[in-house]
Amino acid sequence: MFKKFIAGLSAAAMVFTLAGCSSQESASTDEKENEAASEAEQAVEEASDGDLAGKKVGFSALMMSSEFFTDMSNQMEAYFTERGMEYNVADANGNAQTQIQTVENFVSMGCDYIICFVVDKASIGDTLQKARESGAFVIVIGTVLENKDAADVCISISQRESGEVEAQMASEWIDKTFPDAADGSIKVGLLTNSENEDAVDRCDGLRTIADINKKVTIVEEHETTQSEGAAAGQTYAEM
């Protein structure tokens, strides 16, 4: 039973951080990642009228310790450098203040395009607005900002649905690993975060794992910061 508890916790940690899954298990997540990156690439292409060579683009990633954001960055780097652009990536590490600094640094560097996967939409708006006023074209991924002057393009995703997809991934892993487990026998712990509205919605989606898989009983929820959750998730994923 202890083994099942650790395995269940590991699954929850993996989906929370979007890391550590096999290629088959992570297919749905990869599709979301590729779609968001592709939409950002298209937005830059359209804003430039095709004249990209020599331009600078900066990507402020929510958390580069997650494979999800590493893969997203790699995709965009390949796309933009192939078109003669200078690509820069900065890690917000799940910290709103750090993300503000990354955007300010991109402005100082003279980035023509700034792509931001937002940590906290309540705190980043003024900084992104100033970036636009400085002449940068701003693309926001993951949410819709209340400050409508803070971005040229918003690529929003449903955080609730994102959590539900991750719960489904964990459920599939549990069924594959414990095909004969009795109802309620797989004890799962969730690494949760309530730092902002998007995180709360995403965690609500994670909790649906108990609804979609009768084998699961959620026995613990551990509140953590986004950066702490990523580190813990990576540790469990490597166990």
117 and 96 part of one domain: yes
DSSP label at residue 225 = -
60 and 143 part of one domain: yes
CB 90 within 8 A of CB 59: yes
Q: 5 pLDDT exceeds 60? A: no
**Residue finishing a domain among 155, 178, 198:** 155
33 and 151 part of one domain: yes
45 and 140 part of one domain: yes
197 and 145 part of one domain: no
Distances (CA, A) of 114 to 41, 98, 99, 110, 238: 11, 15, 12, 10, 33
Mean of the per-residue pLDDT values of the chain: 81
Tokens encoding 27: 């297919």
Nearest of 172, 155, 141, 159 to residue 205 by alpha carbon: 159
How many domains, the chain? 2
**Residue finishing a domain among 136, 155, 174:** 155
Amino acid 80: pLDDT: 97
216 and 102 part of one domain: no
What is the percentage of the chain residues whose pLDDT exceeds 90? 53
Amino acid 26: pLDDT: 40
Residue with tokens 């209340």: 146
**Residue finishing a domain among 104, 139, 155:** 155
Averaged pLDDT, 223-230: 64
Mark 161-187 as b/e (b = at least 16 C-beta within 10 Å): ebbbbbbbbbbbbbeeebeebeeebbb
80 and 112 part of one domain: yes
Distance CA 189, CA 216 (A): 10
Report pLDDT digits (tens) over 208-220.
999 999 999 999 8
89 and 109 part of one domain: yes
Beta bridge partners of 188: 218
Report pLDDT digits (tens) over 71-112.
999 999 999 999 999 999 999 998 999 999 999 999 999 999
Beta bridge partners of 21: none
Q: 7 pLDDT exceeds 70? A: no
Tokens encoding 172: 């599939």
Looking up residue 139, the CATH number of its domain turns out to be 3.40.50.2300
Provide the residue range defining the domain that includes 71.
Answer: 29-155
150 and 62 part of one domain: yes
75 or 163, which is more confident? 75
175 and 215 part of one domain: yes
Amino acid 15: pLDDT: 36
170 and 100 part of one domain: no
Distance CA 132, CA 148 (A): 11
Amino acid 197: pLDDT: 76
124 and 195 part of one domain: no
Nearest of 33, 15, 35 to residue 25 by alpha carbon: 15
